[in-house]
Structure 1
Amino acid sequence: MMRWLLLGAVLGVLLLWPSLLGVVVTVAAAVASQPVVVAFALGLAVRPHLRRPQRWTP
């Protein structure tokens, strides 16, 4: 829910100030060009959906 609110806020700002589109694209490209940041973000996104392994009991 929060991510949709943030997306709506960003789109609203871009509609009010179209010149900010270039800034947003530049920032997104800079973040996407760093593999560590992308891997960290993907890990945060996927972690809630991963199952925790059960303990092994011999």
Structure 2
Amino acid sequence: MNDAYNANVIFGLTAILTQTGAGDYFATLPIEIQQAINEHADEIHSREELEAFADTMMKKR
């Protein structure tokens, strides 16, 4: 992947966290779940998808 793509993915997740108020939710998650979310940021397009992904990862712990 190129740097422009990576930047878009990161900014997309940042936009979700800031525009939907999900940043507070994200901050409460364990660090390993936060890392998994960052690694899969290109798959997350809404707060609902963020919460579903986090729930799935929490169940796998």
TM-score of the pair, normalised by structure 1: 0.35
Structure of larger gyration radius: 1
- Which structure shows the higher helix fraction? 2
**Looking at both structures, which has the greater relative contact order when contacts are Cα pairs under 8 Å and sequence separation is at least 6?**
2
